Chains A and B, each alone.
Chain A
Amino acid sequence: MTYLRTHIHRSGRFSGNEELKTLVKLPLPRDVPSNFQMRLLTHNMLSSNIKGVANGFPLKIEVVKVVEKEVDFNIDFLKNMFHKVEWKALAEASTTMGYPELPENADASMLDSDDFLHKFHHALLELHLEEGALVCPETGRKFPVQKGIPNMLLHEDEV
Chain B
Amino acid sequence: MKLKLKQLEGLLGSLEQFSTPKIELEQYPTGAHIASRMLYTAENSFEDVNSKVVADFGCGCGTLGLAAGLLGAESVIGLDIDTESLEIASANMDELELDMDFIQCDIRNLKRRGQIVETVVMNPPFGTRRKGADMDFLSAAMKVASQAVYSLHKTTTREHVKRAALRDYNARSAEVICELRYDVPQLYKFHKKKEVDIAVDLWRFVPQRRQERSL
- Chain A: residues with CB nearer than 8 A to chain B? 9, 11, 15, 34-39, 41-42, 44-47, 49, 56-57, 69, 71, 74, 76-77, 81, 84-86, 125, 148-154, 159
Contact = CB atoms under 8 A, between A and B. Distances in A.
B106 A41 contact: no
B173 interface: no
B75 A41 contact: yes
Given A35-B90, A44-B116, A76-B51, A152 B104 contact: yes
Interface stretch (B18-26, B31-39, B107-115, B153-161): B107-115
Given A36-B90, A49-B109, 19 more contacts: A34-B90, A35-B93, A35-B94, A41-B53, A44-B114, A45-B77, A45-B144, A47-B111, A49-B111, A56-B111, A71-B99, A74-B51, A84-B114, A84-B116, A125-B75, A148-B101, A148-B102, A149-B103, A152-B103
B168 to A, nearest CB: 20
A49 B51 contact: no
A127 B209 CA distance: 31
A45 B114 CA distance: 6
B116 A57 contact: no
Given A74-B74, A77-B51, A77-B74, A150 B103 contact: yes
Contacts of B51: 74, 76-77
B116 A45 contact: yes
A152 B75 CA distance: 20
A44 B94 CA distance: 25
A12 to B, nearest CB: 9
B3 to A, nearest CB: 15
Given A35-B93, A74-B74, A76-B51, A150 B113 contact: no
Interface in B117-155: 117, 144, 146
Contact of B114 (A9, A69, A85, A153): A85
Given A11-B97, A37-B101, A38-B101, A153 B106 contact: yes
Contacts of A152: 103-106, 109
- Listed residue (A9, A49, A148) with the most chain B CB atoms within 10 angstroms of its CB: A49
Contacts of B53: 41, 81
B101 A39 contact: yes
A47 B115 contact: no
Contacts of A69: 99
B102 A41 contact: no
Contacts of A151: 104-105
Contacts of A44: 113-114, 116
A153 B74 contact: no
Interface in B44-82: 51, 53, 74-75, 77, 81
- Listed residue (A41, A74, A154) with the most chain B CB atoms within 10 angstroms of its CB: A41
